Structure 1
Amino acid sequence: MTSFQRKTGLGKGLSALLDDSDAVNPPKNGVNPVSEAKHETHNNSIGLINISDVETNPYQPRTEFDQVALNELAESIKVQGLIQPITVRKHTGSKYQLISGERRLRASKLAGLKQIPAYVRTADDQQMLEMALIENIQRENLNAIEVALSFQRMLDECNLKQEQLGERVGKNRTTVTNYLRLLKLPPAIQISIRDQKISMGHARALINVDQADKQLFIHDEIIEKGLSVRKVEELVRSINSIQLKPKQSRQSPGVSFEYQKLQRDLASKFATKVKLKVGENGKGAIEIPFVSEDDLSRILELLDW
């Protein structure tokens, strides 16, 4: 029986989900180290399974695979064997369902392998989706929109909060928020991000423009004139300075001392000027301005949002 050493490449989030206490060593002399016998680890196992018994992952977040890269991986597998096993769960009968490693599975088929080393895990549908998403986020060169969509799916379908999502994927909350905000941009801009016609830096600048028509105008300028991120940031500031020229603000004349104190307390808490507007009927609004994305993230943290 071949011994297996821990490998840290999975990342904290995926490793925790898999309860992963084993991984494989690189092969020697082109021989894959996984033996025909299965190695029991708790309720899970590691071993060789028939490729024909593996069904694709219905939760796979990635739909496009680079054929050239797949062919290169297939050639490597022919020479070196498959170094990193795929991860599956037991399905019906003798069948398995892929959790992660679709690139490796496809390349192994191209290499002509009949069997493939696999971790056989116990996972329900939600865990399976979460594992597949995290594995893609951590291991693939996803574009920013694919990452954002994966984050959104984890929030919606795995019932996670942003803090939990950040812990799973090893990102801070601000980074997660920045990706999720990309999904609020017009579809044409999202396509340009996906196709790498504009960068994440361009997109982050566009997010700070609150009208879609202005966002699209700047987007077209980026494409046509090849604007740098710095130029776009300057353009956005220029547009916002015109759009947000201060108007003569009117404080409700009937704001009581208690409300004024509350306004001061809120301003102190959020470290920014807070406006408290109260009408005669007792209805009103609280305005908390922010000056940047980081400032907004800071305020959201204080609100525990």
Structure 2
Amino acid sequence: MAKALKKQALGRGLSALLKDPSNDIQSVKDKNADKVIGSIIELDLDAIEVNPFQPRTNFSEESLLELASSIRELGIIQPITVRKSGFNKYQLVSGERRFRASKIVGLETIPAYIRIANDQESLEMALVENIQRQDLDAIEIALSYQRLIDEINLTQEQMSERVGKKRSTITNYLRLLKLDPIIQTGIRDGFISMGHGRAIINIEDQKIQLDIYEKILEKQLSVRDTEALVRNFNVSKNIETPSKNTENQAIPNFVKNGIPVFSEYFGHKIDVKVSSNGKGKITIPFHSEEDFNRLKKLVEGAK
């Protein structure tokens, strides 16, 4: 406890140092820069602006409220990262969800790591750090990779080293950007998975892509079903779903009528498979740990 209090006091002391105009640190060579850079410092929320280079654009209001509740109970567990943009002014590099949730709670300060970076370095840091997150959707990741190529001039090989991903993985994400924008939105909103998108991208004609996308939604096709449909199109130029002997020959009406109820309750498009003997399986997707916990609470509340 004493160690924690000492660390907190140190953060407050450094905060005062940063508000002293005679100690305006702009470079790693400036006086006292070594005390500030890499340390956890309590910063005023009003002194921080969001990062215009932030690759993430979707922030679920429900998940932000859940995070705000956690912060209210436990405080900020992981500090945000900022860069100095002027005297007592900072710009987010990573941690925008924590920043937003802290404002919801009504906090005045937030623990932060301070870095010194120019705009290009800040963009690269924001993109690389956000790619590592588990709750970005596949299209957000793909857009981040594309920005590293377009704005930082990184090759796929260099990106592979920066983010610790295989080059083939990066290529698979980038290929998703060749999908029709409507399909990209479908991936972002969870109506189809990245696997569906990877199957559809083997069709160059975006009109046919959309026809296949609509078929996936209409018939609740799995990734394997979609791959078969695409193979069938490439051979016969026909997008009719290949016939199956044992699975989903005909989804009973009681199942069809129930799918929207389940989807609305869980907040996701669910996947239902029905075999020829009448037995079936319901698959409920989730997109992050927070999303999983949300689904868990729904189930617990229904007991």
Aligned equivalent of 1:182: 176
Q: Matched residue pairs, number?
A: 217
- Letter matched to residue 37 of structure 1: G
Q: Which runs of 5+ in 1 are unaligned?
A: 4-26, 244-305
Quick check: which one's helix share is greater?
A: 2
Equivalent position SS for 2:57: coil
Residue number in structure 2 paired with 1:274: none
- Partner of residue 70 from structure 1, selected from 64, 74, 87: 64
| 1:232 alignment counterpart | 226
The aligned counterpart of 2:265 is none
Question: CA shift at 1:73, angstroms?
Answer: 1.8
Provide, for residues 192-248 of structure 1, a one-character-per-residue CA deviation record: whole Å limited to 9, x for no partner: 1122211111111111123223222211211111112112111211221236xxxxx
Length-normalised TM-score, structure 1: 0.65
Secondary structure of 2:86's counterpart equals: coil
**C-alpha contact (below 8 Å) 1:205/1:232 kept by paired residues:** yes
Residue 137 of structure 1 corresponds to 131
- Match of 1:36, SS state, is helix
Contact map agreement 1:70 1:106 (CA 8 A) in 2? yes
Shift of 1:78: 2.4
| 8 A Cα contact 2:156 2:170, kept in partner | yes
When residues 64 and 213 of structure 1 are mapped into structure 2, their CA distance, relative to the original with a 3 A threshold, is: closer
Aligned to 1:35: 11
Counterparts of 2:197 and 2:126 in 1: how far apart (Å)? 26
Partner of 1:120, secondary structure, is strand
Structure 2 residues without counterparts, runs of 5 or longer? 15-31, 238-303
TM-superposed CA distance for 1:64, in Å, is 2.5
Q: Is the 8 A contact 2:49 2:91 kept in 1?
A: yes
TM-aligned CA deviation for residue 42 of structure 1: 7.2
For residue 96 of structure 2, the aligned residue among 79, 93, 102 is 102
| 2:24 corresponding residue in structure 1 | none
- What is the CA distance between 1:34 and its match in structure 2? 6.4
CA distance in 2, matches of 1:94, 1:206: 49
CA shift in 2, pair 1:35/1:226, >3 Å: same
State the partner residue of 2:259.
none
Give the match for residue 214 of structure 2: 220
Secondary structure, aligned partner of 1:155: helix
> Does the Cα contact within 8 Å between 2:36 and 2:114 map onto a contact in 1?
no
Which of the numbers 134, 155, 159 marks the counterpart of 2:153?
Answer: 159
Q: 1:18 — aligned with what?
A: none
**1:203 alignment partner in structure 2:** 197
Residue identity matched to 1:88: V
Identify the residue that residue 257 of structure 1 maps to in structure 2.
none
- Which residue does the alignment assign to 1:44? 37
Cα distance, 1:176 vs. partner? 0.7
Aligned-residue RMSD, C-alpha: 2.4
Distance 2:63 2:10 in 1: 24
- Counterpart residue number, 1:15: none
Amino acid at match of 1:229: V
The answer as to whether partners of 1:32 and 1:83 remain within 8 angstroms in 2 is no
* Structure 1 residues 118 and 231, CA gap change in structure 2 (3 angstroms): same
Q: Kindly, what percent of the aligned residue pairs are identical?
A: 54
Tell me the CA shift for residue 108 of structure 1.
1.5
8 Å CA contact 1:78, 1:111 repeated in 2 = yes
1:60: how far off? 1.2
Which position in structure 1 is the counterpart of 2:118?
124
Letter in 1 for 2:199: A
TM-score by length of 2: 0.66
- Indicate how the Cα distance of structure 1 residues 177 and 34 shifts in structure 2: closer, same or farther if over 3 A, else same: farther
Residues 1:54 and 2:30 aligned together = no
